[in-house]
């Protein structure tokens, strides 16, 4: 019996950072979980991305839907997508779409902040490929990260766009479900989705507590109230990825209505004006210079105290190997009473140290190799305490990655500093990374991290709103590709004026 509907599912996810010097290419996708094709896409067990979300809605024999799997892949955030990878994904997508034959609909998960040196909107480019292969008529429901930069091309080519409603992102599966559900309603003729969107000339860095409190919660709640209105199919906010220097940069409010453009336009303008009114409350608090942050941590009571460098956050696409915070920790190590674990990805240094070196003293330059713009390598002399490798048990933080493969790992003891070098970058050093080389980080005095406050709190087992965070997490103001003071970057391609680069600018939605 032929299925009633044939629906293709696809996911190509990369988040770029224009200020990172590391291009992301196909091996980075291989290391981050592989490039799944065809039937492999359907074995979504244990994964927590949009694909299981799509399958929860359109999978299962009872639905009488034939799910046509195309491609599923993602990388860790990084610099631009390499031209070779763009070409590969384009060609693979074309081939898979041709092999798929006639389709009734497509569920497509993209990040929305994927750029290459040549193409500022790779996600829109891939949607163009879908339209070239399958025409204008087939409905394409698109799920995006809320850090997407929404472009005219995406809105023109997608039938509907749905974004995550949480940050940190804990509703990725649900976003896949919502997207697929809207597609099904569309195919059943229940709704005729129409998109309204308003781009706001403003960029913000992620607040400490995501959208769980403060101004981001206020405006996300505003969108949630609108989703309850009759005739509104969905409403998403896209606070954008601020570290993208592209012509389409800016926040977006996007509503999907059931054939009621006027209603959608009114709602997105109302939220956009609300966001604009709150603009100054999104600005980050000033941070401490690195030496001061380390001093404050050293004199804070109890342990472990975290000093975190948000400007070199791999989760935001930064290379993760700048050495500013390491230097500050090494400079003050003699004044710190206890161990100081710190992690750097450095394949070259790991390669230089052999398993037979355990117990020996080595001198080598570490870090500052992936990031050549914001840091230099630092020369260290230390004892090789441990050489190991293999997958790490990782509770996933908010990312839902059950295990992490950091490749080969080395622990160097530099007096009381425990420098953990890994072959690969990791999204979020969890305590498991340090435990793998025999260090209990929760017993250390200071742990150096490169994560947002919410993740640093999670490392300690706290909620970001816990009062204890104030005295246990210190943010160091370091240079880096994910620096929170956006005015320090040389943006050359973003539309101007743009808040807060142009702090005195005026703006109103719909004008």
Q: Write out the residues near Zn ion by the rule CB under 5 A.
A: 145, 147
Residue 394 to residue 198: CA distance in whole angstroms: 39
Q: What's the min distance (Å) between Cβ of 226 and Zn ion?
A: 21
Q: How far is the CB of 331 from Zn ion (least distance, A)?
A: 34
In the complex, minimum distance from the CB of residue 455 to Zn ion, in angstroms, rounded to a whole number? 13
Whole-angstrom distance, CA of residue 443 vs CA of residue 214 = 32
- Contact predicate 173/48, CB 8 Å: yes
Which residue has its beta carbon closest to Zn ion?
147
| Residue nearer to Zn ion on the CB measure, 134 or 451 | 451
Specify the residue, 74 or 323, whose C-beta has the smaller distance to Zn ion. Answer: 74
- The residue among 172 and 387 lying less far from Zn ion, judged by its C-beta, is 172
Complex with Zn ion: residue 240 or 269, whichever CB lies closer: 240
In whole angstroms, how close is the CB of 145 to Zn ion at the nearest point? Answer: 4
Question: Which tokens hold the place of 282?
Answer: 């999104």
Round to the nearest angstrom and report the end-to-end CA distance of the chain. 54
CA–CA dist 222, 267 (Å, integer): 10
Range list of H helices, 167-323: 172-187, 214-227, 261-277, 290-299
Shortest Å, Cβ 417 to Zn ion:
32
Shortest distance (Å) from residue 306 CB to Zn ion: 22
Nearest approach, Cβ of residue 44 and Zn ion (Å): 20
> How does DSSP classify residue 167?
S
Cβ proximity to Zn ion: between 237 and 439 the closer is 237
DSSP track, 101-162: -S-SEEEEEE-S---BSS-S-HHHHHHHHHHHHHTTTS-EEEEE-TT----HHHHHH-SEEE
Nearer to Zn ion, 242 or 345 (CB): 242
Sign of CA dihedral 471, 472, 473, 477: positive
Answer whether the bond into residue 260 is a cis peptide, omega within 30°: no
Q: Among residues 112 and 345, whose Cβ is nearest to Zn ion?
A: 112
């Amino acid at each position: 019996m032929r299925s009633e509907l044939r629906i293709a599912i696809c996911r190509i996810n990369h988040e770029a950072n224009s200020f990172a010097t590391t291009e992301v290419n196909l091996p980075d996708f291989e290391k981050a979980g592989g490039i799944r094709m065809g039937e492999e896409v359907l074995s979504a067990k244990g994964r927590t991305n949009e694909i299981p979300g799509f399958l929860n809605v359109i999978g299962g024999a009872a639905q009488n839907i034939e799910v046509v799997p195309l491609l599923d892949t993602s990388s860790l955030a990084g610099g631009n997508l390499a031209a070779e990878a763009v070409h590969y994904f384009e060609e693979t997508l074309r081939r898979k779409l041709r092999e798929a034959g006639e389709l009734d609909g497509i569920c497509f998960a993209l990040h929305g902040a994927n750029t290459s040196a040549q193409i500022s909107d790779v996600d829109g480019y891939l949607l163009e490929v879908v339209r070239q292969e399958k025409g204008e008529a087939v409905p394409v429901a698109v799920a995006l990260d809320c850090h997407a930069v929404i472009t005219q091309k995406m809105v023109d080519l997608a039938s509907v766009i749905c974004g995550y409603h949480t940050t940190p992102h804990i509703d990725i599966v649900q976003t896949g479900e919502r997207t697929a559900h809207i597609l099904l309603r569309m195919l059943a003729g229940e709704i005729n989705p129409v998109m309204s969107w308003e781009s706001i000339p403003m960029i913000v860095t992620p607040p400490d507590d995501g959208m769980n409190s403060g101004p981001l919660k206020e405006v996300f709640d505003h969108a949630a109230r609108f989703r309850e209105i009759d005739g509104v199919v969905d409403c998403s906010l896209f606070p954008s990825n601020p570290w993208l220097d592209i012509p389409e940069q800016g926040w977006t409010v996007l509503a999907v209505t059931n054939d009621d453009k006027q209603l959608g336009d009114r709602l997105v303008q109302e939220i956009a004006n609300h966001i604009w009114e709150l603009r100054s409350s999104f600005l980050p608090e000033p941070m401490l210079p690195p030496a001061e942050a380390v001093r404050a941590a050293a004199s804070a009571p109890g342990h472990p105290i975290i000093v975190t460098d948000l400007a070199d956050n791999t989760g935001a696409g930064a290379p993760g190997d700048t050495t500013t915070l390491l230097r500050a920790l090494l400079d003050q190590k003699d004044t710190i009473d206890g161990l100081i674990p710190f992690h750097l990805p450095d394949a070259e240094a790991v390669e230089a140290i052999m398993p037979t070196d355990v117990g020996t003293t080595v001198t080598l330059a570490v870090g500052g190799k992936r990031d050549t713009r914001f840091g230099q390598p630092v020369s260290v002399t230390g004892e090789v305490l441990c050489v190991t490798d293999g997958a790490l048990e990782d509770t996933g933080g908010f990312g839902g990655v059950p295990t992490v493969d950091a490749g080969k790992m080395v622990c160097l003891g530099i007096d009381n500093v425990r420098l953990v070098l890994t072959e690969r970058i990791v999204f979020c050093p969890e305590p498991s990374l340090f435990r793998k080389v025999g260090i209990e980080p929760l017993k250390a005095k200071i742990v150096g991290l490169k994560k947002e406050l919410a993740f640093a709190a999670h490392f300690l087992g706290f909620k970001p709103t816990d009062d204890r965070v104030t005295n246990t997490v210190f943010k160091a103001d370091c240079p880096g590709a994910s620096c929170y003071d956006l005015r320090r970057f040389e943006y050359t391609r973003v539309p101007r004026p743009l808040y807060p680069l142009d702090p005195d600018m005026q703006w109103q939605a719909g004008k």
